Amino acid sequence: MAYNQNNPVTVAVFFSLSCLALLSTSTFLCKNSTDCQSLLKFKQGITGDPDGHLQDWNETMFFCNWTGITCHQQLKNRVIAIELINMRLEGVISPYISNLSHLTTLSLQGNSLYGGIPATIGELSELTFINMSGNKLGGNIPASIQGCWSLETIDLDYNNLTGSIPAVLGQMTNLTYLCLSENSLTGAIPSFLSNLTKLTDLELQVNYFTGRIPEELGALTKLEILYLHINFLEGSIPASISNCTALRHITLIENRLTGTIPFELGSKLHNLQRLYFQENQLSGKIPVTLSNLSQLTLLDLSLNQLEGEVLLKTALRACLFAGSLPASIGSLSKDLYYLNLRNNKLTGDLPAEIGNLSGLVTLDLCDNLISGTIPSSLGNLSQLRYLYLSHNHLTGKIPIQLTQCSLLMLLDLSFNNLQGSLPTEIGHFSNLALSLNLSNNNLQGELPASIGNLASVLAIDLSANKFFGVIPSSIGRCISMEYLNLSHNMLEGTIPESLKQIIDLGYLDLAFNNLTGNVPIWIGDSQKIKNLNLSYNRLTGEVPNSGRSAGAETAILMSSPTHRGTQTLTEREIEIATGGFDEANLLGEGSFGRVYKAIINDGKTVVAVKVLQEECVQGYRSFKRECQILSEIRHRNLVRMIGSTWNSGFKAIVLEYIGNGNLEQHLYPGGSDEGGSELKLRERMGIAIDVANGLEYLHEGCPVQVVHCDLKPQNVLLDNDMVAHVADFGIGKLISGDKPRGHVTTTTAFLRGSVGYIPPEYGQGINVSTRGDVYSFGVMIHLTEARSIFGRGSGALHKLEQCCIHMLDAGMMCTEENPQKRPLISSVAQRLKNVWKEMGFGTLYMAKEENVDTSLNLR
């Protein structure tokens, strides 16, 4: 019978026969391929594949098309790469992997593989790249690895490897990258590493290495990265390290190093950008030569016993410096934006030349012995947003010129000996969105009515001064305020009724004044006041008992933006607060743990409890300290950390409860990608500005810089007023242990972030940085604005369209492929605020109460 191509039965039979032929061919090829059989043996060692990544590893498909497999056609389809990255695979690494004799790349990072590294791996002589980081591998590094003589990259960090560094590594002279960090390796750092003359990156941090830093490391002239922090190294820092002239980053944090800092470091390491020597036992004078390091961006010498002149070339953090700030500080780069010298022994006056640092965003000189007056030249710092001068011996008046710093968001002059009155010009701080703290001084006079212009401020503390007169009724215009402390003054008159307009006021302390009249009824009606102190006045009547404030005698920690420290809860207390971790109280679940709604303080306070997965807390040594640092971060647009638990086998953090869901839920209700909620343009833009403000504080306003590392709509929580609060910042530090400031990891082993929001450089081994957060922010802008559907018949259509264009343009700037071309988040925030102003949306943080026509819905 002739073949009829139009006969459907014939076509079906032909198709079936073709499929059988292909299946037979694939099966034949696999049975006759050593590589295919070796891969099937590898799959047999995998006991867990929750996402089904290896489902296509079967003989019905040509093995070169299996997930994660790359073959080379010119080598007769031999396997050259296995890349199974972040797939949550569990199991052991099969010894049959050695049969893949042409394998050049082995990438298994970010899984849960256990057992040891098979000794047969040494038979892979063509292997150039191996990354097994972020697993649970144990045992020693096999000596047979010397057979992989072509290796250029070895990355085994975030595992449970033990033993010492095998001597055979000293023979692998093609190595350019060696990372063994976050394991349990012991012994000395071997001198034979100096044989690896091509090495550019050596990371041995967070292990149990002892002994001295080998002098021989000075032979590594191509070395750019040297991380030896959090070990038990002793002895002095070898001067020979200065021969590694390509060095950009050195971290020796938290060891037992003694002696002086070699002066040669400042003479030869001209490419050095980051130098971390904190938490050692270094002594002697700080070498003058460090001032030659013109590329230096971060220097931390804190928690040592150093002395000498303060050397200022760039952004400095707390060091045990003594002496005064030199006038030459004014000659520093105008690009210097962060200067932190808190908690030292600085004396003398503040030099007027500090006002020449026109690029400063943050100036922190807290906790020193600085005397004299506040120089009026600080008014020249037009970019200044955060000024910390508390706990010094400053005298004189608050200079009026300081009010020229119109971008200032936080001003802390507390615990000094300042005199004079509060300038009327204080009202010029219209951008003051965080805190005005002038407490514990000798200020006097009446409180100016202009204080009511601080409509965005979160906290005002004027306690322990000599202010007199009445509390101005204009203070009721500070409608964003949550914390007000006017105690220990000589104020008189009645408690102004205007305070009831501040609906979020949670802390009110008016004690130790001369206030008279009845206690206002509105105090009892307040649903927010948790902390109330009206004692030692001449008030009459009782505190009304109708509202929540009747029990407002506890929880100062949770309500006070200026309080330091965390509340410690036991595992049992958390279990009770969550109803025994009842699923009904489950708010969400992520890669690091589950979040529950909880009620603490005898039912008075609703919080969120994030229970961390024990297996995720790798390299845990500083959990408590990191909680202490994170608890001090207070900002309107950041979810507050309230407390923590660090019992053996159970670790959790207690967070502020934000009850209106996350941004993703509002953009994609019901999980649908087709339609967003009725978020209006003003709400979307306000959310973007809120997030930018929160990031700006993390990057540029915190005493300790924080990189979020996982910014996405799920981590942006919205309150009932649609104000955005950024969540999960700093979680990476609690999970991964200590890292240098602004640095989490330099490998792709344990990538911080979520797919779609991770900047491209993270996949290339570039350090986690604030620029990565900017990229993630840009992606969020695209997602929230690019989905917009304009309404019909609106006369404001063109104007709103232009607003969206501005937003998307900002998103494009943030998602530049080159991280150095991305703007600082503070610049992005200011740009968005300018667009907000051009749109006529009203005053930020007040817009929700104004009748601005923004009825055009965007989806």
Binding positions are 610
**C-alpha atoms less than 13 angstroms from C-alpha of 211 in its C-beta half-sphere:** 11
> 3-class DSSP state for residue 193?
helix
> d(Cα 768, Cα 274) in Å, to the nearest integer?
14
Show Cβ contacts of residue 408 under 8 Å, excluding neighbours closer than 6 positions: 384, 385, 386, 387, 429, 431, 432
- The β-bridge partners of 113 are 91
> 3-class DSSP state for residue 680?
strand
Q: Active-site residue among 461, 710, 738, 773?
A: 710
- C-alpha dihedral, 11 to 12 to 14 to 20, nearest 10°: 160
Structure tokens belonging to residue 697: 């504080």
- The β-bridge partners of 717 are 662, 725
> d(Cα 267, Cα 445) in Å, to the nearest integer?
54
Taking the alpha carbons at both ends of the chain, their separation in whole angstroms is: 61
Q: How far is CA 859 from CA 211, 553, 671, 684, 801, in A?
A: 61, 45, 14, 10, 13
> d(Cα 680, Cα 678) in Å, to the nearest integer?
6
Cβ–Cβ < 8 Å for 540, 518? yes
Cβ–Cβ < 8 Å for 464, 439? yes
> d(Cα 163, Cα 156) in Å, to the nearest integer?
14
Q: How far is CA 122 from CA 96, 142, 156, 158, 486, in A?
A: 12, 8, 15, 22, 72
Cβ–Cβ < 8 Å for 748, 767? no
**C-alpha atoms less than 13 angstroms from C-alpha of 193 in its C-beta half-sphere:** 28
Cβ–Cβ < 8 Å for 114, 136? yes
> d(Cα 267, Cα 173) in Å, to the nearest integer?
29
- Cα-based angle 574, 575, 580 (whole degrees, multiple of 5): 150
Q: Which residues are annotated as a binding site for ATP?
A: 610
Short-list 277, 271, 272, 243, CA closest to 258? 277
The residue with tokens 């039979």 is: 13
> d(Cα 729, Cα 726) in Å, to the nearest integer?
7
> d(Cα 242, Cα 239) in Å, to the nearest integer?
6
> d(Cα 565, Cα 642) in Å, to the nearest integer?
9
> d(Cα 113, Cα 629) in Å, to the nearest integer?
33
Q: What is the DSSP string of 58-104?
A: STTS-GGGSTTEEEEGGGTSEEEEEE--S---EE---GGGGG-TT--
Cβ–Cβ < 8 Å for 290, 267? no
Verify whether residue 710 is a known catalytic residue.
Answer: yes
Show Cβ contacts of residue 446 under 8 Å, excluding neighbours closer than 6 positions: 421, 467, 468, 469, 470
> 3-class DSSP state for residue 655?
strand
> d(Cα 833, Cα 481) in Å, to the nearest integer?
20
> 3-class DSSP state for residue 686?
helix
Q: What is the DSSP string of 815-829?
A: T-SSGGGSPPHHHHH
- Cα-based angle 244, 216, 291 (whole degrees, multiple of 5): 35
> 3-class DSSP state for residue 354?
helix
Pairing of strands 232-235, 208-212: parallel
Please list the active-site residues: 710
